[in-house]
Structure 1
Amino acid sequence: MPFNPSKWNVSIDRYINPWVPSPPWKHLPYPVAHFLGHRTTPQRPLGNVALAFWAFIGVFVSLLGVALIGRAIPSFQERGAPVIIGSFGAVAVLEFYAIESPLAQPRNSIFGQLIASMVGVSISKLFALNAWSGELLWLAGSLSCACATAIMALTGTVHPPGGATALLAVVNDDVAKLGWFLFPVIILSCILMKCVALLLNNIQRSYPSYWWSPEDVGQNWHAAEESDRQSHPDIQLGSKVEHSSSQDRDDDMTSDAHYGSKLIIERGKIVIPDDVFLTFEEKNFLEEISAKLQPTISK
């Protein structure tokens, strides 16, 4: 086989996804699941005026909250931490306007920022060991952003504002002097912005599109549950048959139909399985098909 590095492909999801738990939508009250991004029907598209309105509210509230809380934390003030890390301006645009983008999903926005800050601080401290570090900021900054981008690409956590975070951690004096204290600053900002995004983006829209990956997750958990059921058939099945009433069985059937693995399209109703990820355009396409279906006439 010829040596061809251009054909190499690294995917950590192949090893991680089977161990990532599936979304627990069945076990959560629907209002809670709703504000975590779960929907039983596709979200209806909004005009750009509504999108701009919610983006304005989200960006303003989230950045204001980060600034106020950061100013209220004594340890942040003692270390002279910036009120807002500059890269979070770009984060806000992604999380409150381009919310369907893979770059704005929780895995990318959180882990991308953490990876970028780790790389930036590491390279900043490495170059600080050199007496000429002040004259090599251009080299350190370029290397920091490049390394962060490569690592994010290989780990499936690409987040463009992360490149700015890695760069600022080296070339910006206010950020570079924080050292490893940059981590709690980044973590706090990520958590606060994510909470605001879940609250505001789920009023008329749906966020996030997925929490970890649009691909299947939790295969190993499902296999373990199935193995456990097969190894204890009497306990699992006997209890259900003996103690469940007809109403319970009807409820179970309704639950299975509601959360099953079938994609259901009816006039005015679309049910998408939890393990199926659809883009904004695909959801609109299904909605158009649903609108064209003839209404069911009961005889």
Structure 2
Amino acid sequence: MAITWLICDALLNGTAPILVLAMGSSAITLFTMPTAPAAQPVPVILAHCVAAFLGVASAQVFDNTALAIGIAVGVHAGLMVRFGFMHPPSGGTVLAAIIDGDAVTDLGFEFIWRPVLLNAVLLVLLAVAINAPFKWRRYPVKN
């Protein structure tokens, strides 16, 4: 997750430790369970981006951090279940958007594509590259 750390450091003029943890959890999912539905590209990318949106929006609407987290995480979980883009590690991205500090808060909705989308896409591309040499480990899985 050094790449995520470096991206956050460069784009946020500081670090975002909770986002690094969320992306680290995603990496474990992608690299250890490449055939799992939660490890496929669409759920990974979509869940992190939706999580970032909900976290930023909730942080801007609610002054109470606990309330912002509770609502954003609950809505995010409901949307993942309802629309079938389950990727549980993205719950950490909700938290990152709300409590990872001024560098994240100052970005506002830009946090969605920089650094969240960038990190999610890089993780998926890395998973493709790591699994490509192994015929028995196809990623992404074709339905």
TM-score range, shorter-chain basis? 0.7 to 0.9
**Structure with greater proportional helix content:** 2
Give 1:98's aligned residue: 33
Seen in structure 2, the aligned counterparts of structure 1 residues 77 and 107 have a Cα distance that, compared at 3 Å, is closer
Summarize the alignment of residues 248-287 of structure 1 with structure 2, pairs less than 5 Å apart: none
Q: Flag the structure with larger Rg.
A: 1
The number of residues matched between the two structures is 138
Letter in 1 for 2:50: I
Give deviations 1:45-99, integer Å, cap 9, x for gaps.
xxxxxxxxxxxxxxxxxx223333444x4xx144x35277121111011010011
Match of 1:201 among 131, 135, 138: 131
Q: TM-score, normalised by structure 1?
A: 0.43
Give 2:5's aligned residue: 67
CA contact (8 A) 2:44 2:87 kept: yes
Give 1:138's aligned residue: 66
Seen in structure 2, the aligned counterparts of structure 1 residues 109 and 203 have a Cα distance that, compared at 3 Å, is same
Q: TM-score, normalised by structure 2?
A: 0.84
Give deviations 1:104-123, integer Å, cap 9, x for gaps.
10110001111111111111
Within 1, Cα distance between the matches of 2:117 and 2:23?
A: 12
Within 1, Cα distance between the matches of 2:101 and 2:7?
A: 22
CA contact (8 A) 2:18 2:100 kept: no
| Structure 1 segments of 4+ aligned residues over 2 angstroms from their partners | 64-71, 80-84, 171-178
Within 2, Cα distance between the matches of 1:163 and 1:120?
A: 9
The unaligned stretches of length 5 or more in structure 1 are 1-62, 128-132, 215-299
Summarize the alignment of residues 56-135 of structure 1 with structure 2, pairs less than 5 Å apart: 63-71=1-9, 73=10, 76-78=11-13, 80-82=14-16, 85=19, 86-127=21-62, 133=63
Give 2:108's aligned residue: 179
Alpha-carbon offset, residue 182 of structure 1: 1.1
Partner SS state of residue 203, structure 1: coil
Within 1, Cα distance between the matches of 2:26 and 2:95?
A: 15
CA contact (8 A) 1:111 1:157 kept: yes
Letter in 2 for 1:64: A
Provide the aligned C-alpha RMSD in A.
2.0
Alpha-carbon offset, residue 149 of structure 1: 0.9
Give 1:54's aligned residue: none
Alpha-carbon offset, residue 181 of structure 1: 2.3
CA contact (8 A) 2:58 2:72 kept: yes
CA contact (8 A) 1:112 1:152 kept: yes
The unaligned stretches of length 5 or more in structure 2 are none
Alpha-carbon offset, residue 167 of structure 1: 2.4
Within 2, Cα distance between the matches of 1:180 and 1:188?
A: 14
Give 1:43's aligned residue: none
CA contact (8 A) 1:66 1:192 kept: no
Give 2:94's aligned residue: 166
Within 2, Cα distance between the matches of 1:178 and 1:111?
A: 19
Q: Which has the higher contact order (CA 8 A, sep 6+)?
A: 2
